[in-house]
Amino acid sequence: NGTSTYSIACIPADGIGPEVIAAGVEVLKTLSEVSDFKFQFEDYDWSSETYLKRGQYIPDGGLESLKKHDAILFGAVGAPSVPDHISLWGLRLAICQPLQQYANVRPTKILKGTQSPLRNAHTGDLDWVIIRENSEGEYAGQGGRSHRGMPWETSTEVSIFTRHCVERLIRFAFETAQKRPKKHLTVVTKSNAQRNGMVMWDEIAQEVGKHFPDVTVKKMLVDAMTCEMVLKPNTLDTIVATNLHADILSDLAAALAGSIGIAPTSNLDPTRENPSMFEPIHGSAFDIAGKGVANPVGTFWTCAEMVRWLGQEAAADRLISCMETVCGNGVLTRDLGGSANTKEVTDAVCAEIKKQS
Ligand code: NAI
Ligand code: MG
């Protein structure tokens, strides 16, 4: 039973990406020192800066070289110098879509020591996993623009929903719900106004649900869902929705849990044919970039989810528990109402990992 070594591709990219990924790598190294596995990190300098120099985010052969790793750790992409739709499609979606990382998994909870902006919600009252369709839907890239600049300019943004992709995602959501204590799944659509794709989603959820008799299912329209999240957070557990709907709901979820700075995202290929990609939910936050004050907790939680996906359940739980202890001790960045900087939080988590082993 030799020591496993996991090969990790790091793509820090833009803004606070490099700051939080450096913090994450430090914590992962500390975790591996007290565990029986190792990491080998390889840095990829793909960013908006290199895009402006070379004309492409991912160089020729780049995707192939990503495939040789066990997982990908991603920072954030987006810079004032490049339009957001170019950077997002040039880097992040250019990895997720071809690598078929079709399940975007976004856990959220109120961490100990942190406060929800909801007056009556405390640790334990809000503990969700949002599963977002990550390969098609509203972000399928179908559509076009004609008569540019004319008063009669026309544009279309076509949503694509295929039975294949919806079914595999909903099955993954049921499996996730089944593994959680509440075994509860909320299927979010907009099947009153959007009468084709969304009605198909509802039907597929009903069909797939027959194979998961122990999971309670609730159907909800996306607009009603925003109210439910704010007013009755403890009635929700696992949530599945389309690419666009879940994108929006998961930002709301992160804000309700206290800060966009704490939440993680996993872009999973559940077939494990390709490496999966792990990233904090937040963006490149240029307003605070370079100041050393970015909250690294979202990246630590991201690293824990990566470690879990690699099969090291116990180490993942340990990392989360250390991170929660540090938050509980009040070592918090400014977005959480504290005064600690990125390095102080990182050092505290590393010290806690060593202490707890
Ligand atoms: P953002 O998440 O970068 O920032 C929103 C607000 O939250 C800002 O006030 C920021 O300072 C704060 N914030 C974010 N992360 C934080 C952290 N770790 N610690 C403390 N405060 C934090 O979202 P925004 O401003 O909408 O987007 C900025 C850029 O990031 C855009 O170019 C956008 O396209 C890109 N973006 C990229 C994502 C990705 O790579 N997956 C995801 C979201 C946005
Ligand atoms: Mg988003």
Complex ipTM = 0.97
Report pLDDT for 259.
Answer: 87
Report pLDDT for 258.
Answer: 87
Residue-wise pLDDT tens digits, 96-122: 989 999 999 999 999 888 889 999 888
Given 230, 257, 284, which residue is the final one in a domain? 257
**What's the CA-to-centroid distance between 260 and ligand 2, angstroms?**
10
Residue at token pair 């190792």: 38
Of 307, 343, 297, give the one whose Cα is nearest residue 28. 307
Residue-wise pLDDT tens digits, 215-261: 999 999 999 999 999 999 999 999 999 999 999 999 999 999 988 99
Say if residue 317 is in the same domain as residue 215. no
The contacts of residue 195 (CB under 8 Å, 6+ apart) are: none
With respect to residue 339, please indicate whether it lies within any of the assigned structural domains. Answer: yes
For atom 23 of ligand 1, which residue has the closest CA? 283
Of 217, 216, 249, give the one whose Cα is nearest residue 233. 249
Strand duo 276-280 + 238-241: pairing:
unpaired
Ligand nearest, relative to CA of residue 255: 1
Q: What residues does the ion ligand 2 have nearby, CB within 5 Å?
A: 247
Are 113 and 327 in contact, with CB atoms under 8 Å apart? yes
Say if residue 132 is in the same domain as residue 75. no
Say if residue 321 is in the same domain as residue 291. yes
End-to-end CA gap in the chain = 21
Residue-wise pLDDT tens digits, 334-356: 999 999 999 999 999 999 999 98
Which residues have C-beta atoms less than 6 Å from ligand 1?
16, 76-78, 84, 88, 92, 260-261, 279, 282-285, 287-288, 294-295, 298, 333, 335
Residue-wise pLDDT tens digits, 254-275: 999 988 999 999 999 999 999 9
Report pLDDT for 114.
Answer: 85
Are 345 and 331 in contact, with CB atoms under 8 Å apart? yes
- Does pLDDT of 1 surpass 60? no
Given 257, 287, 310, which residue is the final one in a domain? 257
What domain range includes position 234? 116-142+158-257
- Does pLDDT of 283 surpass 90? yes
Report pLDDT for 194.
Answer: 92
pLDDT band at 91 (very low <50, low <70, confident <90, very high): very high
For atom 1 of ligand 1, which residue has the closest CA? 283
CA dist 79 and 287 (Å) reads 11
Q: Which atom of ligand 1 is nearest to the CA of 80?
A: 32
Report pLDDT for 2.
Answer: 61
Strand, helix or coil for residue 334: helix
E-strand ranges in the chain read 4-13, 37-43, 71-76, 103-109, 127-133, 137-146, 154-160, 184-189, 216-221, 238-241, 264-268, 276-280
Q: Which atom of ligand 1 is nearest to the CA of 91?
A: 40
**What's the CA-to-centroid distance between 282 and ligand 1, angstroms?**
5
Domain count, the chain: 2
CA dist 8 and 217 (Å) reads 36
For atom 42 of ligand 1, which residue has the closest CA? 283
CA dist 294 and 104 (Å) reads 23
Say if residue 267 is in the same domain as residue 251. no
CA dist 118 and 116 (Å) reads 5
Task: Identify the CATH number of the domain in which residue 43 sits.
Answer: 3.40.718.10
Say if residue 306 is in the same domain as residue 219. no
Report pLDDT for 175.
Answer: 98
Are 71 and 40 in contact, with CB atoms under 8 Å apart? no
CA dist 352 and 357 (Å) reads 9
Say if residue 126 is in the same domain as residue 249. yes
**What's the CA-to-centroid distance between 211 and ligand 2, angstroms?**
31
CA dist 287 and 342 (Å) reads 15
Mean pLDDT across 126-142? 95
With respect to residue 110, please indicate whether it lies within any of the assigned structural domains. Answer: no
Say if residue 250 is in the same domain as residue 127. yes
Given 257, 289, 304, which residue is the final one in a domain? 257
CA dist 233 and 240 (Å) reads 15
Residue-wise pLDDT tens digits, 180-213: 999 999 999 999 999 999 999 999 999 999 999 9
**What's the CA-to-centroid distance between 301 and ligand 2, angstroms?**
17
Mean pLDDT across 268-285? 97
Say if residue 287 is in the same domain as residue 316. yes
Are 130 and 250 in contact, with CB atoms under 8 Å apart? yes
* Torsion, CA 325, CA 329, CA 335, CA 340, rounded to 10: -110
